[in-house]
Amino acid sequence: MTTPTVGMLYPGYSAEDDYPAFAARVRDAGIPIDLPLIHTRMDIDAHEVGPLLDIGNADYLADGARELVALGAQSVMWACTSGSFVFGWKGAADQVEQLSQACERPASSTSFAFVDACRALNIERVAVAASYPQDIAERFVAFLRAADIEVVGMGSHGIITAAEVGTLGRDQVEQVVTGADLSAHVQAVLVPDTAMHTLAWLDDLERAAGRTVLTANQVTTWKGLDLLGHTPLIPHAGRLFARQS
Protein backbone atom coordinates (compact mmCIF):
# COMPACT_ATOMS: atom_id res chain seq x y z
CA MET A 1 0.00 0.00 0.00
CA THR A 2 1.35 3.43 -0.97
CA THR A 3 2.00 5.74 1.94
CA PRO A 4 -0.13 8.93 1.71
CA THR A 5 2.41 11.66 1.00
CA VAL A 6 1.56 15.33 1.40
CA GLY A 7 4.21 17.78 0.25
CA MET A 8 4.56 20.96 2.28
CA LEU A 9 5.78 24.26 0.85
CA TYR A 10 7.00 26.25 3.83
CA PRO A 11 8.33 29.83 3.78
CA GLY A 12 11.49 30.44 5.76
CA TYR A 13 12.33 28.79 9.06
CA SER A 14 10.25 28.85 12.25
CA ALA A 15 7.97 25.89 13.06
CA GLU A 16 8.63 23.61 10.11
CA ASP A 17 9.78 20.88 12.50
CA ASP A 18 6.13 20.48 13.53
CA TYR A 19 5.49 18.44 10.38
CA PRO A 20 8.16 15.72 10.53
CA ALA A 21 7.62 15.32 14.27
CA PHE A 22 3.88 14.86 13.72
CA ALA A 23 4.43 12.39 10.87
CA ALA A 24 6.81 10.36 13.02
CA ARG A 25 4.33 10.26 15.90
CA VAL A 26 1.50 9.21 13.61
CA ARG A 27 3.62 6.47 12.04
CA ASP A 28 4.52 5.22 15.53
CA ALA A 29 0.76 4.88 16.13
CA GLY A 30 0.57 2.59 13.11
CA ILE A 31 -0.82 5.16 10.66
CA PRO A 32 1.48 5.62 7.67
CA ILE A 33 1.79 9.18 6.38
CA ASP A 34 4.69 11.16 5.00
CA LEU A 35 5.05 14.96 5.03
CA PRO A 36 8.11 15.97 2.98
CA LEU A 37 8.87 19.68 3.17
CA ILE A 38 10.59 22.21 0.95
CA HIS A 39 11.49 25.70 2.17
CA THR A 40 10.34 28.41 -0.20
CA ARG A 41 11.93 31.79 -0.71
CA MET A 42 11.44 34.44 1.96
CA ASP A 43 13.48 37.59 1.41
CA ILE A 44 11.91 39.52 4.29
CA ASP A 45 10.45 37.87 7.38
CA ALA A 46 7.61 40.22 8.26
CA HIS A 47 3.87 39.98 8.79
CA GLU A 48 3.35 42.97 6.52
CA VAL A 49 1.40 43.13 3.26
CA GLY A 50 4.33 43.70 0.88
CA PRO A 51 6.58 40.89 2.13
CA LEU A 52 3.59 38.52 2.37
CA LEU A 53 2.62 39.16 -1.24
CA ASP A 54 6.23 38.47 -2.17
CA ILE A 55 6.52 35.10 -0.41
CA GLY A 56 3.30 33.98 -2.11
CA ASN A 57 4.80 34.62 -5.56
CA ALA A 58 3.58 31.92 -7.96
CA ASP A 59 7.06 31.28 -9.38
CA TYR A 60 8.54 30.67 -5.92
CA LEU A 61 5.79 28.17 -5.14
CA ALA A 62 6.06 26.44 -8.51
CA ASP A 63 9.79 25.86 -8.05
CA GLY A 64 9.25 24.31 -4.65
CA ALA A 65 6.29 22.24 -5.81
CA ARG A 66 8.34 20.59 -8.53
CA GLU A 67 10.92 19.62 -5.92
CA LEU A 68 8.16 18.07 -3.81
CA VAL A 69 6.96 16.00 -6.75
CA ALA A 70 10.48 14.60 -7.06
CA LEU A 71 10.19 13.60 -3.38
CA GLY A 72 6.99 11.66 -4.08
CA ALA A 73 4.34 14.17 -3.06
CA GLN A 74 0.85 13.07 -4.08
CA SER A 75 -0.72 16.36 -2.99
CA VAL A 76 0.87 19.73 -2.29
CA MET A 77 0.01 22.31 0.37
CA TRP A 78 1.13 25.92 0.51
CA ALA A 79 1.76 25.82 4.25
CA CYS A 80 1.30 29.52 4.87
CA THR A 81 -1.84 31.29 6.01
CA SER A 82 -0.87 34.94 5.69
CA GLY A 83 0.92 34.33 2.38
CA SER A 84 -2.37 33.10 0.94
CA PHE A 85 -5.22 35.12 2.50
CA VAL A 86 -3.31 38.37 1.93
CA PHE A 87 -4.22 37.97 -1.76
CA GLY A 88 -7.95 37.97 -0.99
CA TRP A 89 -10.34 35.17 -1.85
CA LYS A 90 -9.93 35.26 -5.63
CA GLY A 91 -6.20 35.85 -5.51
CA ALA A 92 -5.73 32.96 -3.09
CA ALA A 93 -7.84 30.72 -5.35
CA ASP A 94 -5.72 31.71 -8.37
CA GLN A 95 -2.59 30.99 -6.34
CA VAL A 96 -3.78 27.44 -5.59
CA GLU A 97 -4.82 26.82 -9.20
CA GLN A 98 -1.40 27.92 -10.46
CA LEU A 99 0.29 25.75 -7.86
CA SER A 100 -1.72 22.70 -8.88
CA GLN A 101 -0.91 23.28 -12.54
CA ALA A 102 2.80 23.64 -11.77
CA CYS A 103 3.06 20.36 -9.86
CA GLU A 104 0.28 18.45 -11.66
CA ARG A 105 -1.06 17.39 -8.28
CA PRO A 106 -4.09 18.41 -6.20
CA ALA A 107 -3.11 21.44 -4.15
CA SER A 108 -4.46 23.91 -1.62
CA SER A 109 -3.28 26.41 0.98
CA THR A 110 -3.63 26.85 4.71
CA SER A 111 -6.22 29.61 4.32
CA PHE A 112 -8.58 27.36 2.36
CA ALA A 113 -7.77 24.50 4.74
CA PHE A 114 -9.25 26.54 7.60
CA VAL A 115 -12.44 27.10 5.62
CA ASP A 116 -12.73 23.46 4.61
CA ALA A 117 -12.04 22.24 8.16
CA CYS A 118 -14.81 24.49 9.51
CA ARG A 119 -17.21 23.15 6.92
CA ALA A 120 -16.26 19.55 7.66
CA LEU A 121 -17.03 20.11 11.35
CA ASN A 122 -20.16 22.23 10.71
CA ILE A 123 -18.54 25.19 12.43
CA GLU A 124 -20.15 28.54 11.60
CA ARG A 125 -19.08 30.85 14.45
CA VAL A 126 -15.44 31.24 15.40
CA ALA A 127 -13.00 33.36 17.34
CA VAL A 128 -9.60 34.12 15.81
CA ALA A 129 -6.47 34.02 17.97
CA ALA A 130 -3.84 35.58 15.72
CA SER A 131 -0.16 36.15 16.37
CA TYR A 132 -0.18 38.79 13.61
CA PRO A 133 -0.44 42.56 13.85
CA GLN A 134 -4.02 43.87 13.78
CA ASP A 135 -4.15 44.84 10.10
CA ILE A 136 -2.98 41.40 8.93
CA ALA A 137 -5.33 39.61 11.32
CA GLU A 138 -8.22 41.63 9.91
CA ARG A 139 -7.42 40.32 6.43
CA PHE A 140 -7.80 36.77 7.71
CA VAL A 141 -11.14 37.72 9.27
CA ALA A 142 -12.26 39.12 5.91
CA PHE A 143 -11.21 35.89 4.19
CA LEU A 144 -13.29 33.83 6.61
CA ARG A 145 -16.30 36.09 6.21
CA ALA A 146 -16.07 35.66 2.43
CA ALA A 147 -16.67 31.96 3.15
CA ASP A 148 -19.73 32.80 5.31
CA ILE A 149 -17.92 31.95 8.53
CA GLU A 150 -18.99 34.33 11.28
CA VAL A 151 -16.06 35.76 13.24
CA VAL A 152 -17.44 36.84 16.59
CA GLY A 153 -14.15 37.78 18.19
CA MET A 154 -10.58 38.41 17.13
CA GLY A 155 -7.39 38.86 19.13
CA SER A 156 -4.08 39.92 17.58
CA HIS A 157 -0.72 39.78 19.32
CA GLY A 158 1.28 42.09 17.11
CA ILE A 159 4.19 39.74 16.42
CA ILE A 160 5.96 40.91 13.26
CA THR A 161 8.25 38.00 12.37
CA ALA A 162 7.59 34.32 11.84
CA ALA A 163 10.91 33.57 13.53
CA GLU A 164 9.66 35.10 16.78
CA VAL A 165 6.36 33.20 16.57
CA GLY A 166 8.34 29.98 16.19
CA THR A 167 9.94 30.51 19.61
CA LEU A 168 6.61 30.40 21.49
CA GLY A 169 6.34 27.44 23.85
CA ARG A 170 3.27 25.48 24.87
CA ASP A 171 2.27 27.81 27.73
CA GLN A 172 2.56 30.87 25.51
CA VAL A 173 0.55 29.26 22.70
CA GLU A 174 -2.09 28.24 25.23
CA GLN A 175 -2.27 31.85 26.38
CA VAL A 176 -2.84 32.96 22.78
CA VAL A 177 -5.69 30.47 22.44
CA THR A 178 -7.37 31.20 25.76
CA GLY A 179 -7.04 34.92 25.17
CA ALA A 180 -9.57 34.65 22.34
CA ASP A 181 -13.32 35.11 22.74
CA LEU A 182 -14.46 31.94 24.54
CA SER A 183 -18.10 32.89 25.00
CA ALA A 184 -20.66 30.10 24.70
CA HIS A 185 -21.67 30.85 21.10
CA VAL A 186 -18.08 30.45 19.81
CA GLN A 187 -17.79 26.96 18.33
CA ALA A 188 -14.07 27.00 17.63
CA VAL A 189 -10.89 29.02 18.06
CA LEU A 190 -8.82 29.44 14.90
CA VAL A 191 -5.06 29.95 15.25
CA PRO A 192 -3.81 31.07 11.82
CA ASP A 193 -0.02 30.94 11.71
CA THR A 194 2.08 28.03 10.41
CA ALA A 195 5.05 29.68 12.14
CA MET A 196 3.53 28.61 15.48
CA HIS A 197 4.27 25.17 16.93
CA THR A 198 0.99 23.46 17.82
CA LEU A 199 0.87 19.87 16.56
CA ALA A 200 2.24 18.32 19.76
CA TRP A 201 -0.21 20.25 21.96
CA LEU A 202 -3.58 19.99 20.19
CA ASP A 203 -5.33 18.08 22.97
CA ASP A 204 -3.95 20.50 25.57
CA LEU A 205 -5.15 23.50 23.57
CA GLU A 206 -8.67 22.13 23.16
CA ARG A 207 -8.81 21.24 26.83
CA ALA A 208 -7.75 24.75 27.81
CA ALA A 209 -10.23 26.38 25.42
CA GLY A 210 -13.06 24.02 26.24
CA ARG A 211 -13.96 23.70 22.57
CA THR A 212 -12.56 22.87 19.15
CA VAL A 213 -9.23 24.50 18.32
CA LEU A 214 -8.05 24.58 14.72
CA THR A 215 -4.42 25.50 14.16
CA ALA A 216 -2.59 26.31 10.95
CA ASN A 217 -0.25 23.32 10.90
CA GLN A 218 -3.11 21.01 11.89
CA VAL A 219 -5.55 22.07 9.16
CA THR A 220 -2.76 22.14 6.56
CA THR A 221 -1.90 18.51 7.27
CA TRP A 222 -5.57 17.51 7.36
CA LYS A 223 -6.35 19.22 4.05
CA GLY A 224 -3.37 17.66 2.31
CA LEU A 225 -4.62 14.22 3.31
CA ASP A 226 -8.19 15.20 2.38
CA LEU A 227 -6.98 16.01 -1.14
CA LEU A 228 -5.92 12.37 -1.37
CA GLY A 229 -9.44 11.26 -0.51
CA HIS A 230 -8.87 9.98 3.00
CA THR A 231 -8.23 11.56 6.39
CA PRO A 232 -7.38 8.92 8.99
CA LEU A 233 -8.35 8.89 12.63
CA ILE A 234 -5.29 10.22 14.47
CA PRO A 235 -5.12 10.15 18.27
CA HIS A 236 -4.17 13.28 20.22
CA ALA A 237 -4.59 15.49 17.17
CA GLY A 238 -7.72 17.41 18.12
CA ARG A 239 -11.33 17.06 17.13
CA LEU A 240 -10.51 17.54 13.44
CA PHE A 241 -8.62 14.24 13.32
CA ALA A 242 -11.13 12.48 15.57
CA ARG A 243 -13.35 11.96 12.53
CA GLN A 244 -12.60 9.87 9.47
CA SER A 245 -13.44 10.61 5.87
Is 114 inside a domain boundary? yes
CA-CA distances (angstroms) from residue 125 to 107, 119, 238? 26, 11, 18
Question: Residue 121 is part of a domain; what is its CATH number?
Answer: 3.40.50.12500
Residues 2-55: pLDDT tens digits?
A: 899 999 999 999 999 999 999 999 999 999 999 999 999 999 999 999 999 999
The number of domains in the chain is 1
Residue 1 lies in a domain: no
DSSP 3: P
Q: What is the per-residue pLDDT across 194-236, written as a single tens digit (0 to 9) for each?
A: 999 999 999 999 999 999 999 999 999 999 999 999 899 999 9
Residue 65 forms part of a structural domain? yes
| pTM of the shown model | 0.97
Task: Tell whether 19 is covered by a domain.
Answer: yes
Decide if 31 is inside a domain. Answer: yes
What is the span of the domain harbouring residue 149? 6-242
Residue 221 main-chain phi, psi, to 5 deg: -65, -45
Round to the nearest angstrom and report the end-to-end CA distance of the chain.
Answer: 18
Q: How does residue 243 score in pLDDT terms, banded at 50, 70 and 90?
A: confident
220 located within any domain:
yes
Helix (H, G, I), strand (E, B) or coil at 85: helix
Element (H, E) at 6: strand 6-11
* Domain annotation covers residue 123: yes
Residues with Cβ within 8 Å of 213's Cβ and at least 6 positions away in sequence, in order, are 177, 188, 189, 191, 202, 205, 206, 238
The answer as to whether 117 is a domain residue is yes
